[in-house]
Chain A
Amino acid sequence: ASKASREHYASSSVKIFRRVKPQQKVNKPKKPENVEDGQTEYAENLVKVQMISRNLHAQLFPQAPRSISEQQVASAKVYKDELRRHGVDIESSAPVSDVQLKLPPLRGANIEEHFHNIAKEQVQPYEELLLPLVQCEQLPKRPKRWAFHTGWTAYDPEDGTATPVDHPLEKGLVFDVEVCVSEGQAPVLATAVSTKRWYSWVSPKLTKHRLSVEQLEPLDVDTDSERPHYTLTSYQRAMLKSKKEPAAEDLGWLEQSSLNSLVEVHRLYCGGDALSKEPRNIFVEGTLEQVRQSFQSLTNYCASDVEATHRILRVLYPLYAERFPHPASLAGMLEMGSAYLPVNSNWERYIREAQLTYEDLSIEAKYHLGRRAEEACSLLLDDQYRQNLWLWDEDWSVQELKLKQPPKRKPLPTVELKDSGNTPEERRLQAKFQHLYDQQALLPARRPLLPGYPLWYRKLCRKPPAKRADEILEDDEEPWFPGASEISTGMQIAPKLLSLCWEGYPLHFEREQGWGFLVPFRSDSEGVDRLPMDQLLARCPVPEFARLSASKAESDMAFDMLPGQVEQHLGKREHYKKLSQKQQRLETQYQGSGVWCNKVLDDCCFFLKLPHKNGPSFRVGNPLSKDFLNKFAENVLSSGDPSCQAAARVIDIARMMSYWRNNRDRIMGQMVVWLDPQQLPDELTVEKSQPIAYGAICPQVVACGTLTRRAMEPTWMTASNSRPDRLGSELRSMVQAPPGYRLVGADVDSQELWIASVLGDAYACGEHGATPLGWMTLSGSKSNGSDMHSITAKAVGISRDHAKVINYARIYGAGQLFAETLLRQFNPTFSASEAKAKAIKMFSITKGKQVYSSYEASRLAIQRNRTVAEVFHRPNWQGGTESAMFNRLEEIATGSQPRTPFLGGRLSRALEADTGPDQEQRFLPTRINWVVQSGAVDFLHLMLVSMRWLMGSHVRFCLSFHDELRYLVKEELSPKAALAMHITNLMTRSFCVSRIGLQDLPMSVAFFSSVEVDTVLRKECTMDCKTPSNPHGLRIGYGIQPGQSLSVAEAIEEAGGNDVSQWDWIKKS
């Protein structure tokens, strides 16, 4: 309430005074009558946002009964006016049904205490193990000699006596494992230390004892990637890697940062001599035998890494505890590190089918290209290739087959023919032409390949086998067949054979510039020697921009007409200089996406490079690569030969294959731990005729792998959704719950948008939905056009989908220029000025305007000989739907010690170090992004804690991708787990709003829109995941039925009622 009484938009330049209209009573949706004890459950706040049902509020915010002061009513009028000004109709939202739930009692006086207490409880067992290690100043003495025994060995701290043990005797260990890369991914040896003694572990593989099947699975990710709390921006990472002399403004953060290797981290936190990583090479390059031979020194190396890790832990943990004070952060991280993906025999089938489909498709593409190549050969006849827009610059030279001079005196040796014919006539003719066969001896020792064929084609062919067809052994590698057998889509010839065009101009390859295209600037072909100018002009007339420039300056025209003379009269450099000036003019007029590179061919056309995603200085090596495939859909890249269906098909194939090609190594490299059939429960082994294997993948999650502490993992976290044109994209659905289990999970609905908007709401108004962005996020709907994206789209005049992308880009920190680029990318018809105008409009509607410009401010400050910060406050955003949000985000982001809004986690020291007044703007977009994303990470950690509290050991954490959470649970408990997910959402959001000073929660965000109860890990439980490698879909191809999608009401129903406090394990605790 105190916040609500603040003056809102104090310095707003827009103040609207008008009479508040009498409230409209007509068309008001009927509020659901959910009456209990004579009280209705329905509640709404001052700006008509529906709030959580009364019973829920009473349970979650017991300390803050709902009440409205007169002051609040007064300020509500201001909010409503502002909302109306931005086109928000607060009467437009329809109420949703109330929810009645009996939650387990909070652990503490309020929701904040509750989460603190349950998280503390959850991390306590770990802290009990961790703290003694952190406090341990002196580790036990390392044994002098390591025992070469399979399995675990414990060492007496006094005399180093080795004793075999089943497992380490203590639970708190610092350990390191070593993998012999050439032998697979399983470790071959390990060392560990507790506060009491040292241990070593040796794989049976290393001692050659094959009796034990014991395998050590790393309990956590490998040591080089597990230290999380000092992440960097990509710029910083690049700087650290480059070893360049740092610039002065970089020194601040450089003192606080390192790259993520043990050596670097140790240097940063412990200093001293650099760690030696020399012995590691044996693990990376050597064989098991070499590891065996150097066993003592390698185990010592491993142990010294353990010691180094311990030294780091001693420094790092207190730092961590100080900077991340809330126990939910550690609890969440521990959970994140325990990801577990159940798989079965279908995993192998998936890989097999994806690989086979991939091979089939590449054969098909190859076949098409081969056919095109054969067809193109005939262009050699009458030099037709000179008129071909794509193949004119290939090497069409032809080789002859010539016989050597016969020896003067000696006759040629007689060639023995196996078969001289059946009839006398046949034998006669055989004898007659025997002398021709004898000339075999005159053939060159190295026979030219395909004499008579052009060189480019010959390069695509293989030499036929020397042996006769029937003599070739079956196991000879690849069978030979005639034609362009070596062709592939990756070759330089492929785009030419497919007659590809960019923006309608034929593609052309230049060694230095890579792929580009030809744009004519002359409308005649006189004097053009090699290039098929007539054909080019017939296909693409000189474009307007090039024509204009030519006619405008007649001297240029004349200049172009006399290329020979020009070269004689001008030095080469001047010639180019002149062209370059001309080009400069042209560049401003050319509207396409090609890149000028100051290159003119045959004095008749420009060569423009294809745009590379990394910028104009890069050369495009293959237009059939992933980055360009979408351009075909946009028709920017197309085949210039409409009769060539092959081009369209080859492009389709390339598109289908790209996902698998880019991901298969990671996917096939997943380490599946298959369960021993004897370990399986009986019900899974009864049906012997169906030997299904069961196993699991432990994804190598780096719990806080990024600057914003989001988790990182290369395969699963970036897994694409299943798409019909992406081979292998059914990946996620191949994570399959074992029989009797379900995967339960949900996506947090527009998580980051809500976090950003609620920060603005709380800060500016102290009321949910009181800022335009807040209201649109909570109550706007796509169906009646009142959500954020629809409103922006309407205001600017673009499609909702495009508005959505740009809206998110802005919230992630992108500026007006970026929006401009996106607009033009989406709408190629927009002119530059049109796109600019739209971007400006969009920004002034949404982000608003700054009170003063920073340029103006620094000018004034300099006049007074002061710094900007001394003279001015930070400039405020005003008048936009999102101004409040940006003001809040910038306030947090520019603070000297930025903290996440929910759990109070600090920003990486690498970025925190840079807070001088001049540095403020330097990493601002990154820091703003950090506030929202890191807030989302807090949100996730809180959810993990809440789920654990509600479900205890009845759920197993599977995986989380940013805003998605999945658990494995027994089938009969799956409805309860689904309900627990809904409640987790409710409680987590309640905690978050409480932390930023709000004591209520809107109904629209209180629960997940749905929780999926499914047998496989697909995005939505009804997706059939048809892909080229899964053409029959999951239901028919794999016999997998659709799952269930439960709303909170359905979950309550399925879970057997709304009294959660009566669940067995909750009652007991």
Chain B
Amino acid sequence: MEGNTPSCCNSIGHDFVPWLLTWAQQFRNNFQKLVKDHPRKAKCPTLLKHQSTCPAPTSNSLFGVKGPTLHLTTDFLVEPHRALEHFYNMQRESKIWWMRLSSNPSRYRIVPCDLAEDLNPKDYQAIDIRTSYGDAGEVTVEQLSLVRVVDDKDFRLPDARTGETVQPTVIRSVIELETATCALLLDGCDHGRDSQSLLLHRVLAPYQCGIACVESDSELSADLADLGLHLKHVLNHAGLRLSEGSGLFSTKDASHLAEHLLETDMLGIPYTLVINEQTLRNGLMQLRSRDTRLAETIHISDVPDYLLNIFKN
């Protein structure tokens, strides 16, 4: 469901309470749409997702995003008596989700937001998932809040198990996409290793794989270029995102290759296939990894399945 009404639940301090009390129009529209268009799915628990543009991005101590920004909002409508349990589970799962993509999973933490004293913690809770970059600062990548809806007869759903009509509790997740993307990019740089690799998670890397040819005999260089091209076809076909830059990389010089690999490391390309004359004879090639800086020998018949296994999430 798409919409453009700004949803203003993100800065918990001031806007949280108004959102609770007045019910963002956006949410109401989405809810009515759910009940009308998808009556079979309108049961508790369920979820609503929508993207919206927010004119004023949240600020953080590390970088600024010039507005407007895209918000990915997910509203989980859950059984009220299990709401807290759902909420805590969701915190855990969201945090784990971010952690799995990180070069340093320990940088993520859950920070409870201080809510006004008069809000009963049984009915209102909010947390930030923050990622920290040492002394440099922190960025909020996701916000989760729980709202137990006050009596509202337009907002009821049947419980999927008992069929009883209940007033769902809303658990909302908001991710500001631009901020989150920058946070992930920073995460790839901030890893404390000697090498200047960009340690983007392999599923996030814009380029997943590169191809490098090492020639030594000019007679064969045309064939080697052909093989490179062939591998490119195969990888593209398999749906892997291939780094091409200015065409296939090719060199006669081992130190030149090392330089090239350093560069691909800095671009965050997780793997490079290295082929040479030997490959033309027996199909054996090197699969060089950014993270270990070592190469594994594989056979051409392993391409692309082995790579697909690696990149499968």
Residues on the B chain within 8 Å of A371, using CB: 103-104, 291
A648 to B233, CA, bound (A): 46
Beyond A436-B300, A437-B300, whether A421 also contacts B233 by CB under 8 A is yes
Known: A403-B282, A403-B284, A429-B226. Is A453-B292 also a contact (CB below 8 A)? yes
Q: Which chain A residues border B312 with CB–CB below 8 Å?
A: 469, 479, 481
In the complex, whether B155 has a CB less than 8 A from a CB of chain A is no
**A430's contact among B92, B230, B289, B296, by CB below 8 Å, is which?**
B230
Supply 28 A–B pairs (Cβ within 8 Å), ascending by A: A349-B85, A357-B92, A360-B95, A367-B99, A367-B105, A368-B104, A371-B104, A371-B291, A374-B291, A375-B193, A377-B292, A378-B195, A378-B293, A378-B294, A430-B233, A436-B279, A440-B283, A440-B299, A452-B295, A452-B296, A453-B294, A457-B292, A464-B306, A464-B310, A465-B309, A1031-B110, A1032-B125, A1035-B121
Q: Which residue of the partner chain, among A356, A469, A690, A1037, contacts B308 with CB atoms under 8 Å?
A: A469
CA distance A374 to B282 in the complex (A): 29
Residues of A within 8 A of B310 (CB): 464, 481-482
Are B284 and A437 touching (Cβ within 8 A)?
Answer: no
A-contact 0/1 string along B112-127, CB 8 Å cutoff: 1000000001100100
* A residues neighboring B (CB under 8 Å): 349, 353, 356-357, 360, 363-364, 367-368, 371, 374-375, 377-378, 380-381, 400-401, 403, 415, 419, 421, 426, 429-430, 432-433, 436-437, 439-440, 442-443, 450-453, 457, 464-465, 468-470, 479-483, 643-646, 649, 689-691, 1031-1032, 1035-1037, 1039
| Contacting pair B192 A644 (CB below 8 A) | yes
**A356 contacts across to B, CB distance below 8 A:** 92
Q: How far apart are the CA atoms of A249 and B167 in the complex, in Å?
A: 77
- Measured CA separation A415–B299 after assembly (Å): 13
Contacts A368-B104, A430-B230 known; 8 new A-B pairs at CB < 8 A: A360-B96, A371-B291, A374-B291, A415-B301, A436-B300, A464-B309, A643-B192, A689-B166
Residues of B near A375 (CB, < 8 A) are 193, 291-292
A439 & B286 in contact (Cβ 8 Å cutoff)? no
B residues near A403, Cβ cutoff 8 Å: 282, 284
Given contact pairs A356-B92, A419-B237, A468 touches B293 in the complex (Cβ within 8 A):
no
Report whether B297 and A401 are in contact in the complex, using a CB–CB cutoff of 8 Å.
Answer: yes
Does B210 make an interface contact (CB < 8 A)? no
Task: Decide if B227 is an interface residue (CB 8 Å cutoff).
Answer: yes
In the complex, the answer to whether B106 meets A377 with C-beta atoms within 8 Å is: no
Which residues 254-313 of B have a CB within 8 angstroms of A?
279-280, 282-284, 286, 289, 291-301, 305-306, 308-310, 312
B24 CB to nearest chain A CB (Å): 25
Q: Are A440 and B301 in contact (CB under 8 A)?
A: yes
Using CB atoms and an 8 Å cutoff, list the residues of chain B in contact with chain A.
Answer: 79-81, 84-85, 88, 92, 95-96, 99, 103-106, 110, 112, 121-122, 125, 164, 166, 192-193, 195, 202, 226-227, 229-230, 233, 237, 279-280, 282-284, 286, 289, 291-301, 305-306, 308-310, 312
Write out the residue numbers on chain B whose beta carbons fall within 8 Å of the beta carbon of A645. 104, 106, 192
B122 touching A1039, Cβ below 8 Å: yes
Give CA–CA (A335, B185) in the complex, Å: 64
**Nearest chain B CB to A691's CB is how many angstroms away?**
8
Residue numbers in B under 8 Å from A646 (CB-CB)? 104, 106
Given the contacts A436-B300, A439-B282, A450-B296, A429 and B193 also touching, CB distance less than 8 Å? no
B106 with A368: CB separation less than 8 A: yes
Measured in the bound complex, the distance between the Cα atoms of B300 and A400 in whole Å is 16
In Å, the complex CA distance between A440 and B298 comes to: 11
Docked Cα-Cα span, A1037 to B279, in Å, equals 60
Distance in angstroms from A851 CB to nearest chain B CB is: 62
Give Cα A403 to B297, complex, Å: 11
Q: How far is the CA of A401 from the CA of B300 in the complex (A)?
A: 13
CA distance A781 to B74 in the complex (A): 58
Give the complex CA separation of A374 and B293 in angstroms.
Answer: 8
List of 4 A-B pairs having minimum Cβ-Cβ separation, nearest first: A436-B283, A377-B292, A378-B293, A440-B301
Q: How many whole Å from A923's CB to the nearest CB in chain B?
A: 51
The residue in B85, B282, B306 that gathers the most chain A C-beta atoms within 10 A of its C-beta is B282
Which of B237, B291, B306: most chain A Cβ within 10 A?
Answer: B291
- B88 / chain A contacts, CB cutoff of 8 Å: 353, 1032, 1037
- Looking at the assembled complex, report how far the CB atom of A1033 sits from the nearest CB atom of chain B, in whole angstroms: 10
Indicate if the CB atoms of B294 and A452 lie closer than 8 Å.
Answer: yes
User: A1037, B284: Cβ atoms under 8 Å?
Assistant: no
Task: Decide: A429 near B229, CB < 8 A? Known: A353-B88, A363-B96, A464-B309.
Answer: yes
A689-B80 contact, Cβ under 8 Å, with A439-B299, A452-B295: yes
